[in-house]
Structure 1
Amino acid sequence: MAEQRGTDVARAVTVSADGVPLAGDLGVPPAARGVVVFAHGSGSGRFSPRNRAVARVLDEAGLATLLLDLLTAEEEAVDLRTRHLRFDVALLGRRVIASIDWLAADPATGDLDVGCFGASTGAAAALVAAADRPDRVTAVVSRGGRPDLAGDALRRVTAPTLLIVGGHDHEVLRLNQRALAALAGPARLEIVPGATHLFEQPGALERVAVLARDWYLQHLGHDR
């Protein structure tokens, strides 16, 4: 079923990864200059209201977006009980990589530069994917993420990376500062004053969306 999101109509898609089908929504505005893959984490999925709010801003800026469930419904049910799959960065990273490869084969997105947007543990998965697909991923943004969970992959990430953290998210801020020093490529840490982990304060999420939009517009869709 198609869904209106921003300036375009998103279509339901299925990406095969690890031998399982993953449900997603792909929105491609006219003359898109790049496509952004959303890597959700911590029990979230393609219906995350925060990530969908960011996706709308990107759509309106002429960027295609792919919001994907990185876990199947069955895996989600298991994760609700055990809470371990959301921290399986190797698994999540493989699935983000699969989505990047799928975009390369789709006629609507095959020629587009790819950006990754990761939230929480999904940020680590996005960075693992960026390290594994340096020829495709040209920008990464992390929202309240755990880039530290990407481990040694951080030293292989050459794509420009923006880490966004709430000013009151003290522990995550410390972990992001450590990850910033480990990243191989150009990187910046942006602190949203007064914001907590979920950016629930008035204007905080809007600030995240603007920062992400500007980062992608700077780094996607240019001759390399």
Structure 2
Amino acid sequence: MLEHTLIPLRHPLPPAELCRVGGAEGLVACVHADGNTGTSRRLQPVLQRLQARGFATLDLELLAPDESDNAQPPLDAQALARRLDQALDLLPASVKDLPLGLFASDHAAAAMLYCAACRPHGLRALVSRSGRVDLASEVLGDVRSPTLLVVAAGDPEIVDLNRRAFSRLRCEKRIDVVPRATHHFLEAGTLDVVAQLALDWFATHLAPPG
């Protein structure tokens, strides 16, 4: 049984959509920072696969619609991380104690890493999709959460930035390059690959043994 609820966040952020799952084994927050509702729609295959596996999900936008210029966020990664941290503090009691993982893309992935560095024991797993993880370079060595970097083979600049960041991570880590995919994983089947990689990572690190 799925129960969808809107969680009010501090101004100027839009509400986050929480999906509770009966007997949830963990909570995965899908974080983006582009002020675009289309991102949430594109991520539905990821959210639905997580929910089917028994994870509660939180769809969380870190920018208000009028803050995005469709190029890059007006806030730096640390400012976005503060918003992420505040949003996580507002989780309702029904999910607050669940093992928590984060899934983030682009600039939100850098915010995720800053947040993880400040919560070394609070985040059980991280997944970055086409993330600008290089923007969190100063804290990469402080991240302790198991981290998966997923990048598109057809996005060589991001692949290179992620490989460099990967070498600086000191936590459990993995990097996967998805063939035939470009930055937004719009090619047929490629987002399904991302969803399965993320699901496997979270199932390993959030779900209880067995």
The answer, yes or no, to whether TM exceeds 0.5 is: yes
Task: Report the alpha carbon displacement of residue 84 of structure 1 after superposing the two structures with TM.
Answer: 4.2
Task: Report the alpha carbon displacement of residue 156 of structure 1 after superposing the two structures with TM.
Answer: 0.8
The aligned counterpart of 2:5 is 11
Paired residues for 1:1-224 under 5 Å: 8-16=2-10, 20-45=12-37, 48-72=40-64, 76-80=65-69, 83-85=72-74, 88-103=76-91, 106-222=92-208
Report the number of matched residues. Answer: 209
C-alpha spacing 1:78/1:212, structure 2 compared with 1 (3 Å): closer
C-alpha spacing 1:215/1:157, structure 2 compared with 1 (3 Å): same
C-alpha spacing 1:46/1:183, structure 2 compared with 1 (3 Å): farther
Q: Matched residues in 2 for 1:222 and 1:102: separation?
A: 25
Q: Matched residues in 1 for 2:45 and 2:71: separation?
A: 29
- Whether the 8 Å CA contact 1:24–1:46 is kept in 2: the answer is no
5+ residue gaps, structure 1:
1-6
User: How high is the sequence identity, in percent, across the aligned residues?
Assistant: 36
Q: Matched residues in 1 for 2:180 and 2:39: separation?
A: 26
C-alpha spacing 1:20/1:43, structure 2 compared with 1 (3 Å): closer
Tell me the amino acid that sits aligned with residue 89 of structure 1. A
Q: SS at 2:140's partner residue?
A: helix
- Whether the 8 Å CA contact 1:97–1:132 is kept in 2: the answer is no
- Whether the 8 Å CA contact 2:17–2:59 is kept in 1: the answer is yes
Q: Matched residues in 2 for 1:43 and 1:37: separation?
A: 16
The alignment's C-alpha RMSD in Å is 2.0
C-alpha spacing 1:211/1:167, structure 2 compared with 1 (3 Å): same
The aligned counterpart of 1:3 is none
TM-score by length of 1: 0.86
Q: Deviations over 1:50-108 (max 9, x none)?
A: 22221111111111111122123xxx3243288442x52111111111122222xx221
Q: SS at 1:92's partner residue?
A: helix
Which contiguous aligned blocks of 4+ residues in structure 1 show a shift greater than 6 angstroms?
none
- Whether the 8 Å CA contact 2:73–2:107 is kept in 1: the answer is no
Q: Deviations over 1:131-167 (max 9, x none)?
A: 1112210100001111111121111111000000011
Q: Matched residues in 2 for 1:45 and 1:183: separation?
A: 31
- Whether the 8 Å CA contact 1:39–1:125 is kept in 2: the answer is no
The aligned counterpart of 1:4 is none
C-alpha spacing 1:24/1:181, structure 2 compared with 1 (3 Å): same
Tell me the amino acid that sits aligned with residue 9 of structure 1. E
Q: SS at 2:15's partner residue?
A: strand
- Whether the 8 Å CA contact 2:9–2:87 is kept in 1: the answer is yes
TM-score by length of 2: 0.92
Tell me the amino acid that sits aligned with residue 170 of structure 1. P
5+ residue gaps, structure 2:
none
